[in-house]
Structure 1
Amino acid sequence: MDFDVATDDRLTTVDVTDRVAETLPADCVEGVCTVFVRHTTAALVVQENEPRLRGDLESFLSGLVPDEGHAHDELDGNADAHLRATLLGPSATVPIEDGALALGRWQSIFLVECDGPRTRQVSVTVTS
């Protein structure tokens, strides 16, 4: 199952937890859910949905990877986005228990946009 996520900023986070949960098959009681973003300048993470922490994540990534000064920028000016997405990774795996995502109390699934604004395709695969 795939769904699209529209982003509105160059570097931002979008909570996709509910969208992922909606894709779970009704007959799946236990299993594994793998969420994958089909882009090299976006990532997925499991983290707390707290606005200040989300801002901290964006600031951390900006501080860790400078916006400019990379060889790939000569091609299309987005090397920073590729490097930030590489640090985080394109997927997240979450267990399914009792027909629901078995996330911890404070955990949510986020798409991390590193080269927006764009529309991103997210793929969800469930194995039961």
Structure 2
Amino acid sequence: MGHATFSVETDARLTTVDVTDRIAAAVPDDLETGTCTAFVQHTTAGLVVQEDEPRLRGDIESFLRDLVPDEGHAHDELDDNADSHLRAAVVGPDVTIPVENGRLALGTWQSVLFVECDGPRTRTVSVTTIGDGS
């Protein structure tokens, strides 16, 4: 079993960042088969497995903007970021990926994207692995 964390810095309120390599780097060298779970330790950001293609990333951002209006939510009376919480709730805070032969078993076009919904900020991602060694 292994555990690691890393930071993600964002430069926009709603944006995506490919974090696949940083998650892969957290897989211990001696883990042959198992699972890797990455978890965002925040309520206004999330993780999704998707293709890392710039136009698709823009489409994801547009989809979330269209799905959840920027204004008009009760929580906005508190800190004016209800849209960020709702968008992150749609995305979800975690992904779990199989580990096979010591590597993340992602499909050909799959990457792990960090989805920032309330930036710019510096965020923490926690990565936990479990499984069998070689």
Q: Distance in 1 between matches of 2:11 and 2:120?
A: 5
Where do 1:1-128 residues align within 5 Å?
Answer: 1-128=4-131
Q: C-alpha deviations, 1:37-84, integer Å up to 9, x for none? A: 000000000000110000000000000000000000000000000000
Report how far residue 6 of structure 1 moved: 0.4
**Cα root mean square deviation, aligned:** 0.4
Report how far residue 109 of structure 1 moved: 0.3
State the TM-score, normalizing by the size of structure 2.
0.95
Give 2:79's aligned amino acid: D
- Stretches of structure 1 that go unaligned for 5 or more consecutive residues are none
State the TM-score, normalizing by the size of structure 1.
0.99
Deviating beyond 2 angstroms after TM superposition, the runs of 4 or more aligned structure 1 residues are none
Q: Which secondary structure state, in structure 2, belongs to the residue aligned with residue 58 of structure 1?
A: helix
Report how far residue 124 of structure 1 moved: 0.2
Report how far residue 33 of structure 1 moved: 0.2
- Stretches of structure 2 that go unaligned for 5 or more consecutive residues are none
- Corresponding pairs, count: 128
Sequence identity of aligned pairs in percent? 69
